[in-house]
Chain A
Amino acid sequence: MSMNRKDPTEALAALRGDAITITTEQCIKAWREAVPDALDDPTHVDVVGAMGSASSIALGIALAQPNRKVIVMDGDGSLLMQLGSLVTIAGAAPENLVHIVFENGVYATSGGQPLPAEGRLDFEVMARGAGFAHAARYDDAAAFKADLPGLLERRGPVFVTLQIEHEVGVPSGTRSAMMGQQLEALRKQLADAAAD
């Protein structure tokens, strides 16, 4: 069983509060559709140009801002690029980090090629084995939506894998320079908040 990408993304957008959000790969487009002013939001970053780095950048932000929830929406192919980040995150143990993987089993951006061991690999087991405080898997959008408030309240790091329908995606169109602008906007916003 699997869900479309839109429903869980909209659920996250509705409940994010003042969380810092990070997306990558196909999550970028889905977030922009769920949050029309995403490009003007200084608390949101689209990670491009550094394969697999969404979880690591999110970890750094979470460690720097322990009183702020940080939600990273990752791709399964992206996570495989820096799979060790599961262990690094568990080791640093940021309580404010929520790592959500949209697992569609394919490299959507490059044409839909299947992941290695697609259908056999188990990210929930990997995250639990790495030492995450909590890990869960959802193949139903309604169940995820019902549990989401509790997931966002839990002491983390929290890992969630969502079973997403197979899809062929498109490049987000975002360049590393745009990511740089978003990172700078977030940095300024956080610095201004600290100065207040």
Chain B
Amino acid sequence: MAVTAAVAISVPAESIVREIEALGITHVVNVPDTHQKSVLALLARRSHPTLVTACTEDEAVGINAGLYVGGKRPMLLIQNTGLLASINCIKGIAMDARIPTFMLVGLFSRDVTKAPADDPKRVINRISPTLDTWEIPWYPLERPDQLGAIAEAYQRSLETSGPTVVLVGAPTS
């Protein structure tokens, strides 16, 4: 039986954490993402950046805003389902109130042999159109050579005082 080639390749957690540290991120506000659990496990073993776990993504968006206003360099680490759940808070806080809100979003349950647009699951194929509808800049992280998207998206969130998203295509390793 032929094996279908993967479209998205796992990015090592160490690489992602190195990018986060290089940006001087002080706080990673998260609602645990199955897709990025190796990143969370790595962050949990370190004292910096501080891992803040919230019960919901709505809270995470608010906490990120408070940390930013308080002089810190926060970011969010959440799952695609949580992104959808928190759109109103992203609208009200990140967009209308102009708070830099950088989000690393895992495409949990994505079929890595298909492009997201071709995945039959709405929680995959509707994510980027949702972001486009709200004019939220997003960057794919489909393979290790796209790690630069993290810095680019974070800087853009600061420059535009708004939300940006990196979509993590495959479960991190």
On A, residues with C-beta under 8 Å from B are 48-65, 81-82, 84-85, 87-88, 91-92, 175-177, 179-180, 183-184, 186-187, 190-191, 194
Contact = CB atoms under 8 A, between A and B. Distances in A.
Contacts of A87: 55
A184 B63 CA distance: 15
Contacts of B144: none
A61 B27 CA distance: 12
A57 B68 contact: no
16 contacts: A49-B91, A53-B93, A55-B62, A57-B66, A59-B62, A60-B70, A63-B70, A63-B72, A64-B69, A64-B72, A87-B55, A88-B59, A176-B92, A186-B69, A187-B68, A187-B71
Given A88-B55, A183-B69, A57 B63 contact: yes
A61 B65 CA distance: 8
A88 B53 contact: yes
A85 B59 contact: yes
A136 to B, nearest CB: 23
A64 B67 contact: yes
Contact of B93 (A50, A55, A82, A92): A50
Contacts of A88: 53-55, 59, 63
- For the complex of A and B, the 10 pairs showing the least CB-CB separation, nearest first, are A60-B66, A64-B70, A56-B62, A84-B55, A176-B96, A50-B92, A180-B97, A49-B92, A53-B62, A61-B66
Given A63-B52, A180-B98, A183-B97, A56 B59 contact: yes
Given A57-B69, A88-B63, 15 more contacts: A50-B62, A53-B59, A54-B62, A57-B63, A59-B62, A60-B65, A60-B67, A60-B68, A81-B58, A88-B55, A92-B52, A179-B97, A183-B65, A183-B99, A184-B69
Interface of B: 27, 29, 50, 52-56, 58-72, 74, 88-89, 91-93, 96-99
Contacts of B88: 50-51
A85 B52 CA distance: 12
Contacts of B89: 50-51, 53
Contact of A191 (B52, B71, B74): B71
Contacts of B68: 60, 187
Main secondary structure of the interface of A (DSSP, over half): helix
A85 B89 CA distance: 14
B47 to A, nearest CB: 15
A177 to B, nearest CB: 6
A177 B97 contact: yes
A180 B98 CA distance: 6
Contacts of A63: 27, 50, 52, 63, 66-67, 70, 72
Contacts of A52: 58
Contacts of A65: 70-71
Nearest to B65: A57
A92 B50 CA distance: 11
Given A50-B92, A177-B97, A60 B69 contact: yes
A162 to B, nearest CB: 22
Contact of A49 (B53, B59, B97): B97
Contacts of B63: 56-57, 59-60, 63, 88
